[in-house]
């Protein structure tokens, strides 16, 4: 079991055991002491719980909606009575590596979890005979008919008409991601046409995006005002003056930068568009 999941689950179960320290009702179902017969590795209460796996013919049972203190408590309160499962039973079986908690539909497919039996069904064969008989006869309390076919098959599940298949969710998610990527690309191209041309830059593309955005905003503000050709030249000169001081560059270096601009003409294709 995942170490983080193990720590969360065992810590919660220990807290619940302390909180429920009052003696349980004396009966076979809640007795978690060693079996008097001594011929079973499980206590009567553990056998009653493990019998559910045998009865339903499955190594997985129950649904845990959240691996958290609240999620574990909710699961015990919701399913504990039906599964004959108490915090101490679950804690013992997890520590003894009989039960582990795994994702309900496989890793990365779902946020729900389930209990998995780490033994084979043959190892617990016979523990669920009483439950099998009950399943065959149907539930007297609910009046539900017995499930047909295999006696060990699980009872009918809840209404699932509202449930979305995970395959459909993944397919739809892929479509949404593709659309978002496409929109992001379109927005980037649009920004390039109206602001900073990062893709064809020498150094700008190595800077953090936030820096480039600041430069883009500055240019946007300066370009809002209508400047004459002479004013634009003076504005560029002002910017170069400040760059020379703050970057500690010489006139010769500025000239080399201008020469690089002329010879390499990296943004020439965009100038043609304008």
Q: Is 124 buried (19+), middle (13-18) or exposed (0-12) by CB count in 10 A? A: buried
Cβ(134)–Cβ(146) under 8 Å? no
The pLDDT, as a whole number, for residue 116 is: 93
- pLDDT confidence band for 140 (50 / 70 / 90): very low
Which of the pair, 173 or 68, is modelled with greater confidence?
68
User: How large a percentage of the chain has pLDDT more than 90?
Assistant: 19
CA distance 104 to 8: 17
Q: Can you give the pLDDT at residue 209?
A: 76
User: What integer pLDDT is reported at residue 184 of this predicted model?
Assistant: 55
212-241: pLDDT as tens digits: 777 777 777 777 776 788 888 888 888 888
Going by C-alpha positions, the residue among 157, 169, 191, 172 that lies closest to residue 111 is: 169
Q: What is the pLDDT of residue 95?
A: 92
Please tell me whether the overall predicted TM-score, pTM, comes out greater than 0.75 for this model. no
Least confident of 19-33, 42-56, 117-131: 19-33
β partners of residue 60: 116
- Are the C-beta atoms of residues 23 and 13 closer than 8 Å to each other? no
What SS3 state is found at 166? helix
3-state helix, strand, coil in the chain (%, to 5): 55, 5, 40
| C-alpha Rg value of the chain to the nearest Å | 35
55 or 24, higher pLDDT: 55
* For range 1-13, the mean pLDDT: 84
Q: What was the pLDDT predicted at 160?
A: 39
Q: What is the mean pLDDT of residues 174-191?
A: 59
Structure tokens at 189: 């191209």
H helix intervals, 57-203: 69-83, 87-95, 129-137, 166-194
Tokens for 133, please give them. 């008989």
Residue 50, SS3 per DSSP = helix
Q: What is the pLDDT of residue 262?
A: 79
More confident residue, 110 or 232: 232
Helix axes 69-83, 3-19, angle to 10 degrees: 70
d(CA 242, CA 257): 15
The dihedrals phi and psi of 30, each to the nearest 5 degrees, come to: -105, 0
Residue 97 token pair:
């590596």
Q: Compute the average pLDDT of residues 103-110.
A: 64
Better pLDDT: 20 or 17: 17
Residues 41-93 pLDDT 10s: 889 999 999 999 999 889 999 999 888 888 899 999 999 998 999 999 999 99
């Amino acid at each position: 079991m995942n170490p983080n999941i193990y720590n969360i689950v065992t810590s919660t179960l220990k807290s619940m055991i302390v909180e429920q320290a009052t003696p349980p009702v004396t009966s076979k179902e809640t007795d978690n002491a060693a079996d008097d017969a001594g011929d079973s590795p499980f206590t009567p209460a553990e056998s009653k719980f493990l019998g559910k796996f045998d009865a339903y013919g499955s190594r997985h049972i129950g649904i845990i909606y959240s691996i958290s203190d609240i999620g574990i408590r909710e699961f015990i309160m919701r399913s504990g009575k039906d599964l004959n499962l108490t915090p101490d039973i679950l804690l013992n079986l997890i520590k003894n590596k009989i039960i582990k908690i795994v994702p309900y539909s496989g890793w990365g497919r779902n946020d729900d979890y389930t209990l998995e039996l780490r033994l084979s069904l043959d190892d617990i064969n016979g523990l669920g005979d009483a439950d099998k008989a009950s399943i065959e006869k149907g539930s007297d309390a609910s009046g539900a008919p017995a499930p047909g076919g295999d006696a060990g098959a699980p009872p009918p599940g809840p209404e699932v008409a509202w449930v979305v298949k995970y395959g459909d969710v993944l397919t739809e998610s892929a479509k949404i991601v593709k659309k978002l990527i496409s929109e992001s690309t379109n927005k980037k191209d649009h920004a390039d046409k109206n602001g900073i041309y990062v893709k064809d830059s020498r150094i700008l593309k190595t800077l953090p995006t936030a820096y480039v955005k600041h430069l883009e905003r500055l240019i946007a503000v300066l370009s809002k005002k209508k400047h004459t050709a002479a004013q634009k030249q003076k504005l560029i000169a002002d910017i170069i003056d400040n760059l020379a001081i703050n970057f500690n560059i010489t006139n010769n270096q500025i000239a080399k930068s201008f020469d690089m601009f002329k010879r390499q003409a990296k943004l020439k294709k965009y100038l043609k568009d304008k």
